[in-house]
Amino acid sequence: MFGDAAFVTGKFLAVDLSKRVEDPGYYLIVVRKDKSGAWRLYRDIDTPSPDGLSLKPGNLKPGN
């Protein structure tokens, strides 16, 4: 958190079993406080990366 802004980053793996599609990548979510003090979504960004495949069941290791 930086004053009126905060962010979260991580890996994701979206899977559609019916189409046998895997969509791995990284995400960045940024929120900001508005004038009333409520946290509001400011940016939600993702980018493809094969690193997200490490989240597949069987690939998980401590620290992932």
- pLDDT value at residue 60: 55
Helix, strand, coil tally for the chain in percent (to 5): 10, 55, 35
Q: In angstroms, rounded to a whole number, what is the distance separating the alpha carbons of residues 14 and 1?
A: 27
Q: In angstroms, rounded to a whole number, what is the distance separating the alpha carbons of residues 62 and 25?
A: 19
- pLDDT value at residue 63: 58
| Higher-scoring residue by pLDDT: 59, 50 | 50
pLDDT, tens digit, 9 for 90 and up, residues 16-58:
888 888 999 999 999 999 999 999 999 999 999 988 888 887 7
Locate the domains of the chain by residue range: 5-55
- pLDDT value at residue 56: 83
- pLDDT value at residue 6: 97
Q: In angstroms, rounded to a whole number, what is the distance separating the alpha carbons of residues 25 and 21?
A: 13
